[in-house]
Amino acid sequence: MRRLLAVLIAVGMSVVAANEVEVFHWWAGDEGPALQALIEVFEEQYPEITVNDAAVTGGAGVVARAVLRTRMLGGQPPDTFQVHAGDELILTWVVADRMEDLTFLFEEEGWLDVLSPDLIELISTPEGIWSVPVNIHRSNVMWYVPENLEQWGVEVPETWDAFLEICPTLQAEGVTPLSLGEAWTVVHLWESVALAAMGPDQYSQLWTGQLPFDSPAGVEAWELFGEILECTNPDASGLSWQQATDLVVDGEAAFNVMGDWAAGYMYTTLELEPGTGFGWAASPDTEGVFMVLSDSFGLPRGAPNRDNAIAWLRVSGSLEGQDTFNPIKGSIAPRLDSDLDLYNAYLQDAAADFAVDRQVGSLMHGTVGSDPFRDNFFLALDVFYDTGRNAQAAASAAQAVALQFGVGR
Ligand code: GAL
């Protein structure tokens, strides 16, 4: 009995003694290096705290968010978790009163002076500031390999009309004009096409409920989307976003529309040089518009290691943390005092655009649109496929989902 007691005490002590911070996120495998670098910065500054790197594989957090939901609702939050700035953060966790207000941290760290007011607005409600943004990604980017385009005799299309014109030429050469991956990458493509078809004003009105999804402009977006899908690879549903990028890199496809984590993948993992190894342009018809999304970390109420989570947040928002993480990740730093000399040519270009472009929010990556809306928006895609690509049917399905679940804030 006494021995059992001793064992129990020892076990109890080791639980207390484990000084860790659980960081929950979806940057697994190929997506991991930037976070690993941030963890190194953290461990240098807080050598007494061990990072429990809780990665859940799956692009765009489709799987991670489901796991997180179960944990949060079940009263087992991680210490901190990756969450997109914007409606995903506010309408999922802030309205449910599951997050701690971080205004105190923003004041202590001086972040109110180094982050843009637009970004702070995305993570705020009148009651507080609810997460720490670690990056800014661009969703509406078209990727290609310059040498391959030259060989096939095609130019980077500035409009979808121009793309649709070169589509048969490429197909005749056995090249997939536009590579696509699993379902979420289809929604990712849809948002850039909708932006192209509707323009930034109307696209933004979708998320305030001012414009219904089945307006004539909304239907046109689906029509254009259907034409573009004709130019994509038939095996898309089985491919990750990295595999869709690989098709471009390997010369099997001409273009891919993906967020600029693809630049991170091509630069950091595939070691390609921006400009020669890969090229980029705003996705067709969206020049001058930056579809923005931002990964952030929040502090859930009841975080088991609250102080350590706050330490993690301090490093995530710091200049050193952000200028270490972002050049590897393929994103720019939200901090306005970030040192652009540390960033590659693609990221310098993205930063220049971000400074002057009109900004709109990404649906797939949580800037706009509630989680239930996004989850059920996938049904509109199913309707599109099931009805033989009937634009009107898909647009009214999207509108029904908007009415059922609400759109945004
Ligand atoms: C996004 C996220 C990016 C990247 C991407 C692919 O939602 O914001 O940082 O991880 O998914 O997984």
Q: What is the pTM of this model?
A: 0.95
> What is the structure's pLDDT at 10?
47
Is residue 8 a part of any domain in this protein?
no
- State in Å: Cα 63 to ligand 1 middle: 12
Looking at the CA of residue 27, tell me the nearest atom of ligand 1.
Answer: 10
Domain boundary among 343, 359, 375: 359
Which residues have any ligand 1 atom within 6 Å of their CB? 26-27, 31, 59-61, 137, 241, 259, 261, 293, 295, 365
- State in Å: Cα 26 to ligand 1 middle: 8
Per-residue pLDDT of the chain (409 residues; tens, 9 = 90+): 445 444 444 444 444 558 999 999 999 999 999 999 999 999 999 999 999 999 999 999 999 999 999 999 999 999 999 999 999 999 999 999 999 999 999 999 999 999 999 999 999 999 999 999 999 999 999 999 999 999 999 999 999 999 999 999 999 999 999 999 999 999 999 999 999 999 999 999 999 999 999 999 999 999 999 999 999 999 999 999 999 999 999 999 999 999 999 999 999 999 999 999 999 999 999 999 999 999 999 999 999 999 999 999 999 999 999 999 999 999 999 999 999 999 999 999 999 999 999 999 999 999 999 999 999 999 999 999 999 999 999 999 999 999 999 998 8
> What is the structure's pLDDT at 409?
86
Is residue 224 a part of any domain in this protein?
yes
| One domain, residues 203 and 177 | yes
Strands laid side by side in the 50-55 sheet: 50-55, 20-25, 80-84, 295-298, 132-133
**Phi then psi dihedrals of residue 132, to 5 deg:** -115, 110
> How far from each other are the two terminal CA atoms of the chain, in whole angstroms?
59
245: containing domain: 138-291+363-405
- State in Å: Cα 174 to ligand 1 middle: 30
| One domain, residues 265 and 311 | no
| One domain, residues 182 and 312 | no
Name, in order, each residue with C-beta under 8 angstroms of 172's C-beta and a sequence gap of 6 or more: none
| One domain, residues 119 and 257 | no
Which residue from 138, 295, 329, 371 has its CB within 8 A of the most atoms of ligand 1, so it is best to mutate? 295
- The protein residue whose alpha carbon is closest to atom 1 in ligand 1 is 60
| One domain, residues 390 and 246 | yes
- State in Å: Cα 173 to ligand 1 middle: 32
| One domain, residues 160 and 144 | yes
> What is the structure's pLDDT at 12?
47
In angstroms, rounded to a whole number, what is the distance separating the alpha carbons of residues 303 and 404? Answer: 32
> What is the structure's pLDDT at 43?
98
Name, in order, each residue with C-beta under 8 angstroms of 15's C-beta and a sequence gap of 6 or more: none
Number of domains in the chain: 2
| One domain, residues 91 and 53 | yes
Is residue 201 a part of any domain in this protein?
yes
| One domain, residues 165 and 125 | no
In angstroms, rounded to a whole number, what is the distance separating the alpha carbons of residues 294 and 136? Answer: 5
| One domain, residues 124 and 179 | no
Is residue 338 a part of any domain in this protein?
yes
> What is the structure's pLDDT at 408?
85
| One domain, residues 146 and 124 | no
Is residue 13 a part of any domain in this protein?
no
Angle in degrees, 0-180, between the axes of helices 371-386 and 391-405, rounded to the nearest 10: 160
> What is the structure's pLDDT at 17?
54
Block residue for tokens 């079940």: 74
Could you tell me the two tokens for 150?
Answer: 């030259």
- State in Å: Cα 25 to ligand 1 middle: 10
Are residues 277 and 145 in contact, defined by beta-carbon separation less than 8 angstroms?
yes
Is residue 3 a part of any domain in this protein?
no
In angstroms, rounded to a whole number, what is the distance separating the alpha carbons of residues 400 and 383? Answer: 12
| One domain, residues 124 and 167 | no
> What is the structure's pLDDT at 250?
98
> What is the structure's pLDDT at 364?
98
Looking at the CA of residue 365, tell me the nearest atom of ligand 1.
Answer: 7
